[in-house]
Structure 1
Amino acid sequence: MKRLPLLLGLSAALLLGGCAHSDLGPLPPKTADRVDLKRYQGTWYELARLPMFFQRDCAQSEAHYSLKPDGNVGVLNRCRTLEGEWQEARGTATPQFAGKTDKLWVEFDNWFSTLLPGVAKGDYWVLYVDDDYQTALVGNPNRRYLWLLSRKPTVSAYQRESLLAKARQQGYDTTRLIWRVSDRDVARQP
């Protein structure tokens, strides 16, 4: 009789532990922990990205970040199509948590954000940035978005493989990456 409460307690603990584990799904990716936004500002070139609707026509993309006096980050994303036309989107990145600079919300200035302010925010998680702030990985918690970034439009094979390995370690599917198109493959605009 003394064993029955112990067995019931153990069974309940195992059952609840199993339920909690199965409902949580995969853990979110780890972030860079601390990002010096002053050093992060400037131009970043997209080396590769996971497919996404809003960049469907982009052959070359770049992001320009500028630190604002309020601590937020001004965002200017530029996309060059295969026809050589440039498209732009402006927005603001704000820390998701006070004092943390590796997880940001990005909200773009568009009709949707004007109509429903605060609803159209996207996760911008800095997963990795090298010590010199020359290469970075950015993604989101559900691993649907990923960008490999560099201060230059191209990187060495070693840097490329290093970024890919870091992305795979974080659980991202790098086989689906769309790579930056070379300048010679983009039509020149007069």
Structure 2
Amino acid sequence: MKLSTGQRLALCTLPIALLGACAGTPGPVGNSAVPEPAKAVELDRYLGKWFEMARYEAPFQKGCDGVTADYALRDDGKISVVNSCTKDGKLSTADGKAKIVEGSGNAKLKVSFFGPFYGDYWILDRADDYSWAIVGEPSGRYLWMLTREAQPEAATRALIEARVRELGYDWNLVRVTDQS
């Protein structure tokens, strides 16, 4: 069966349209000048479990609390990503994969939860001891603050908030994640 140019275009753009429909409309831009990552990342130290301290609310996370992310090295050299959250009393998980962007000092990754579609994941800053990390992407619409503890100390939370502001993000758009 021979497809017309219009039919081929429709088939090629359908996955993108479906992805947009699933992801929802992104939130406002919270940083119009997203900085490059501040430090290189030692991958083996970054892997493991992270708790989401706070985030910019994203359509795909609306109503999620108890959010965690687990990263592990796969046999093929990519990174497995398992994101979990509790929504309406039910645990929800999303399995994905990530690959390192060459020349980024392991601070930029491409992450996929939908087949061949990859999104940017930039580790903008982190603690020297890998106890916290600030993650964003180039559009300035998405931001996550991650910690190794579900309930970080007040001093750690204040330090992360100050660093987020220094990086140029609008703290008024931040939603603190309930980890109780």
> Is the CA contact 2:54–2:177 (under 8 Å) kept in the aligned structure 1?
yes
Question: Greater relative contact order: 1 or 2 (C-alpha under 8 angstroms, separation 6 or more)?
Answer: 2
> Is the CA contact 1:30–1:170 (under 8 Å) kept in the aligned structure 2?
no
TM-score (norm. length: structure 1): 0.73
Say which is worse superposed, 164-173 or 38-47, in terms of deviation.
164-173
- Per-residue Cα deviation, 1:39-68 (whole angstroms, up to 9, x for no partner): 111100001000110000202200000012
> Is the CA contact 1:46–1:180 (under 8 Å) kept in the aligned structure 2?
yes
Matched, 1:48 2:45: no
Shift of 1:99: 6.2
Q: Which runs of 5+ in 2 are unaligned?
A: 1-30
Report which of the two structures shows the higher radius of gyration computed on alpha carbons. Answer: 1
Say which is worse superposed, 135-144 or 69-78, in terms of deviation.
69-78
Could you tell me which residue of structure 2 aligns to residue 73 of structure 1?
79
Matched, 1:140 2:120: no
> Is the CA contact 2:40–2:104 (under 8 Å) kept in the aligned structure 1?
no
3-state SS in 2 of match to 1:181:
coil
Instruction: Quote the Cα distance in structure 1 between the aligned partners of 2:52 and 2:33.
Output: 26
* % identical equivalent positions: 37
TM-score (norm. length: structure 2): 0.77
Instruction: Quote the Cα distance in structure 2 between the aligned partners of 1:176 and 1:158.
Output: 21
Instruction: Quote the Cα distance in structure 1 between the aligned partners of 2:82 and 2:176.
Output: 20
Q: Which has the higher helix share?
A: 1
3-state SS in 2 of match to 1:60:
strand
**1:38–1:56 Cα change, 3 Å:** same
- Per-residue Cα deviation, 1:119-166 (whole angstroms, up to 9, x for no partner): x21111001111111111111112111111111111111111111111
Q: 1:39 aligns with which of 38, 41, 45?
A: 45
Q: 2:107 aligns with which of 70, 89, 102?
A: 102
3-state SS in 1 of match to 2:161:
helix
3-state SS in 1 of match to 2:163:
helix
**1:98–1:164 Cα change, 3 Å:** same
Q: Superposition RMSD on alpha carbons, in Å? A: 1.8
3-state SS in 1 of match to 2:129:
coil
State the number of aligned residues.
150
Q: Which runs of 5+ in 1 are unaligned?
A: 1-24, 184-190
Q: 1:178 aligns with which of 158, 165, 175?
A: 175
Q: Which has the higher strand share?
A: 2
> Is the CA contact 2:84–2:92 (under 8 Å) kept in the aligned structure 1?
yes
